[in-house]
Each structure stands twice: as C-alpha cells, then as structure tokens.
Structure 1
Amino acid sequence: MSPRILVIGAYGNFGRIICRHLNQMPAVQLVIAGRNADSLSQLAAQLNGSESWCGDAMAPGFADALRALRIDWVIHTGGPFQGQPYRVAEACIEAGAHYCDLSDCRLFVNGIAQLNDRARQAQVTLLSGCSSVPSLSSAILDEQRHHFSRIDRIEHGISSSAKMPGLSTIEGVLAYAGRPIRQWRDGRPCNVDGWLGLQLRHLPGLGWRLLNDVDVPDMDIFATRYGARDLAFKAGSGLMLGGLANAALALLVKYGLVRDPLPWARRLHRLGSRFERWGDGRSAMYLDVRGLDLQGQPLRLQAQVSASDDKGPEIPSCAAVALMARVVEGYQPEPGARPCVGEISVERYLAAIGEPDKVRYSVSFQHGRG
C-alpha cells in the first residue's frame, strides 16, 4: 500500500522542496499541512491538487486528525525547534504514525530519546534531525569510517550561499548568539561562544569563507559514535558581511548590551535579504577528519558536498525525501525515538536530491603528517 505522508509547514522553504520531490513519487500519497489556508490552497494547485489539512499541529486534536487522515508518516518542518516541545511527536505516538523532523537544534534532536520507551511500546519510529546535521554528516563518516583505526578530531561545518533561509531558521540559530555552546577538546567538554570564534577557511569551488562557532546535535553524537576527542562545528553565510553581523550580535549579547537576540535576528534577516543578489549561489558542507589509518599512521579525510545555483536548501530538505524513498521500497525503521543517524546512505541522499550537475560530493585522503 502507498504510504500516506503528511508534511507540516509544507509551504515553507524546506517544506516546498520536500513536497515537490514527494509529489513526483508515484507510490506516495501526499498530504500538505499548515496553518495558512490560502498558502495551502496555492501550494495544492501547484502540486496538482494534493490533499491538505489546515490547522495547528501543536494544538490538541492533532492525533485525531492524523487518525482521520490515515497518515503513515509525518515530516515536521515547522521550526524554530529551539525551545519547542515534543507535541507533534507525542501526537504521532498516540495516532500510531511514524515521524521525522528537520531540526538541527542540539537539545531537541538529542532530547527526543526521552520518548523512546513510549514510541517502542506503540511500535512507532520517531527520528529527529533528518537534515544535513546529523543525517548527512554521519552518513559521510559512516561511509569512510573503515579507513581509520582511530578518529581523533572532527571539524565540520556549513557555508551557505547568500540566499537567506526562512525567518524561523534565522531566529533559531541566532537564539544562542553570544551564549556558551559545548564543543570538545582533548576528550573534555569545552565551552565556546555561539557565533564567535571567527575563522577564514578555504573551501574548494567556493574560495575563502568566514565561519563562526555554531551549535549542532553532532557535538554529542560524534563523541560517542566515533570516539573523537576534539569536535568543532562552524557555519557562515556566503557573504562575509553576514558572518561579521552575526559575530557583532554575539558580542553584544555576550557583554549584556543586548538581552534578547530575537528582534535583532529579524533585522538581520531583512538586511541579509537585501544583499542576496551579491552572492554567487554556492554553498557547501565540509568535514575535516584526522586520526590514524589501519597501520597506525596519521590519516586526514576531507569530504565536501557542494551546491551551486542556490541549490543548497536541497541538502537539508532531502534527508526526509531519501528516507521516504526507502520507506516506499519497504524499509521499516526500528521502533523508538532517536536522532536520525545510520538511516540513510550518502548514495541515497544524493539520489534523492537528483541534481548531479549542481550538487556534488568529493572525498580526498592525506597520509602522513601535514
């Protein structure tokens, strides 16, 4: 039977991409969901009249709606996830529907394990962080892990194009600007300031990009999954001005001159939208991994997923698409609640995006010290 998949936030930036891909899968029955009836109607017309549900997925009664619609899977794109409760996931448990979300919020993704017992009892799968991090980042490491006898350091990050994501995304990631976030140094937790720690990094095909320290679920997952003693993650805009603006906000928060970064996040979002045309449309996620090879000699892995022509948003969006492609083929993830790691291979991920001329994956190794 064709799975019935409901996408929350279907008319948002990521939701639209997911719906477009799912609508092209003949074996999927797509239901689009959101709180704005006009936006839903317009999207439904673009998707050849797909089913829709208008309402608040966070409100009581959502489980009843899922049962009435006979939903098999829910894809939750409705951020920001920072501080968001697990009401959607809990409704899925109640309704017997499986769930995944696009959160990259560390507390949200890693905290979903608190629902594990309830999900297992209901024979429901809840997967959080079905996005670039931690789904794709872990898929790349899982694919290359066999080259290492030991992994010591993982530094990875994302440099976006100048095209601004949705306001909710900006509000979410700037919520911890200037506030402590935990990374790892020499096997011990180490606090750094969110959106500070500026670094210039050269990314093949993109040139020099300015990156800031950012919080992601990987910081907890990678320490246990790969045994790395040093972990760092950075992110930044395609325009250096964006990285400098975020760092300026972080400094104001750090020294108590700004108490609430939310209004400033909105201002920076408006400002960034005005500068989009100055970008080159290129973005990338990179991984820089150091450790020992199978002979005990130093080994460095550098991997990068690059996107051109402003196709960067396809990367976080299509983890859910790749997962649904597996479901259509008969895949049944183990019941329980956990971060979305180990569910999708790099090959499946890239196949779901389906843009080989605009989204490319490269891997290189360097043996010896250097």
Structure 2
Amino acid sequence: MINTRQRYEDIEARSLAPYAMKSGESRGRQYPEAEQEFRTAFQRDRDRILHTTAFRRLEYKTQVFINYEGDYYRTRLTHTLEVAQIGRSLARALCANEDLIEAICLSHDLGHPPFGHSGEAILNKLMQGYGGFDHNKQSFRIVTKLEQRYQGWPGLNLTYEVREGIVKHETKYDVRDSEAEGFDTDKRGGIEAQIANMSDELAYNAHDLDDGLRSGLIEPEQLDDLAIWKMLKDSIGWDGRHFSEQIRHQIIRRLIGIEIDDVIRATGAKLDGLDLASPDDLQRLPYNVVTHSENLETMNRELQTFLYDCLYRHFRVVRMAVKAERFVTQLFETYIDEPNQLPPTVHAAIDHRGLQRGICDYIAGMTDRFALEEWQRLFDPFQRP
C-alpha cells in the first residue's frame, strides 16, 4: 500500500478535530503551484523550511550560552527541534494537525540574529527610524522574501496557514502586535499556531533551567522556595541531597512531562465546553484555548521570574550580552560608514532594500561564530581582511 497526498488528506478529514486545520482545506500559496502526489501541502512546507540556509545557521546561534562556551548547551537549532517535538506531542493529544504545527515550530526562530535576544535588542535600537528589528517579522521576511531558492518567486512560497502561524507567534518572552499585510489581525492564531506558541514557552522554561543547572550558574539550593521545584523533587522521590547529572535529567524530563500533561488536560477541558465547528470558529474566540491550569500557570510565572533574575541576569550572561551589543553595534556602524567593506551580494540587497535594512539583514543572518570572525577581520590589525 502507498500513502498518497489524497489518502493523507482523507485521514486528516476523519481523524482531526473540527477546529483543526486540514491540509486539503488550506487557503493555498501566494504563487500557484501544482500539488505533489505523495506529500500534503503542510508536509511540503515543513521540508522546505528544513532545507533553508536560515535553518542551518540556527546551529551556531545563541540560545542562552554562546556557542563556544560548551558543546552541550542548547543552541537556537536544538531549541527549535525541541519545540517541534513538544508541539507534535500536544498536537496528537488535541487532534490538531501535526504537520502544520511542526512547520510553524521549525520556522518560528529563523529570523533570530546572532547572540540571541541581546542581538535582537541592539539591532532594533540601531534600526530605529528605519523600521526597527523584530526576529518574528524577520522570520516572516525570510520565508517570503530573503530565501532565494526558486526561479518563479521570492521566498519559499509557503501556505497561508504556515505564514499566518509565523505572523501570530507570541510567547511571554516576545509578545508583540501580530501585524502583517494580508492577515486578519482580528482573528487569533489557529489551534496549531497556539500550540506552537505554547511549545516554545515550555521549551524555554525546561531547557533554560536545564542549561542553567548544567553550567553551575544555578545551584539546586536556589530553587528550594519554588513550588514547582518542590513538586518535581517529590514526584521523583529526591530528598534534595547529592545532586547528580542523572537527577538533573530526571527532573527536567519530569518537568516537561508535567507541563505537557497539564496543557492537554486544561486545553481539553476548555475545548469540551465550546461548540467549535471549524478552525474559523476557534480563531474568532476572544481568548486562546491552548492553556495551562491556573495552578501550574502560577508555578510557571514563579519559575520564569526566577530564571530572569538568576540566569538571564547572571553576571556572566550579562557580560556576554554587553559584549554582543558592542560587537553588533560596531559591525553595523562600520558598514554604514563604509559600505564598500561589504561583499557584492549585500550591495545587491542594499540596492533593493536600502542601506540600513540591507546591512541589518546581513548582520541578522550571521551566526555567532561568523559575527565574531567578521569583527576580528574588521578591527584586529593582525587579522587578514
């Protein structure tokens, strides 16, 4: 037996919830294309995203710790893959479209510049008066304009639903106005976009805590007053003594499991109380349906505050953030002062997008490693240009 696109679409029609988006009901692509025989529209989108240059670059872009600080910390790529895994787990339980969720998850951080949120903040500051910089909007620009892989159109020509999921991506870490031409801003993201948003948040909490403990920037004793930490210790039967690598793995694994289970139960209970006949019905609700229970939401807020105070504001992380701001600022300013330092491909982009935006796009596409090497080439007199 062979699985064809039509068979996949039939399976979706039978197995997905009424509020889930079916690939056969997609609003389509900006530029018309013939459908493929053995992949659905959302499966093709996922595959196109995986093969982009922007996706490969995520391997060397900062999550919390810059790449050279250790081989075992999360990068923007491993974070993205973990978000996609959590998204698929939630999708299966909530009868949503796994392929659509995976495509949104894999694309949600394509626009992140080098050095994580510090790089984003300084680029936004440098671009004031020229449209600013936001990694979510940059992700959208990458898939619709900047990736040049097809002769017939710019970008990846993704389906409307994947593009909408990118546009309406929001978490507590990067809340923004969901605005883009051609999308109804009065409607919320669909169930798949909401699951992708929640998956991003769950991954941040669990994996940043994991990396903080692994690095020694967070000591287990610092967490003793947190309700969620007490619950985790009790759930694995750990008495708080002799913290080991295995205990850390157990705790993070248990944390992810608790978070996922809670979202499934809380979201399921909310959906059971609604009469949703279509994805459009869900998007017109005045609130998100993908949610935590009130109890775990309170615990998560406490954990997020702790991570901000004790990890993201740790002096070692702050020092690297300040360095990153210096690197990015000096790169931007020297390119502005003398654009002839830029390679020919960037000059072509400047001709179409303007000096500031062309330079911003060039820097945003850099990995941490390339940005540091470029800084050395430009400012170290003993480095060859």
Structure number, greater radius of gyration: 2
Establish whether TM, by shorter chain, passes 0.5.
no
TM-score (norm 2): 0.27
TM-score (norm 1): 0.28
* More helix by percentage: 2
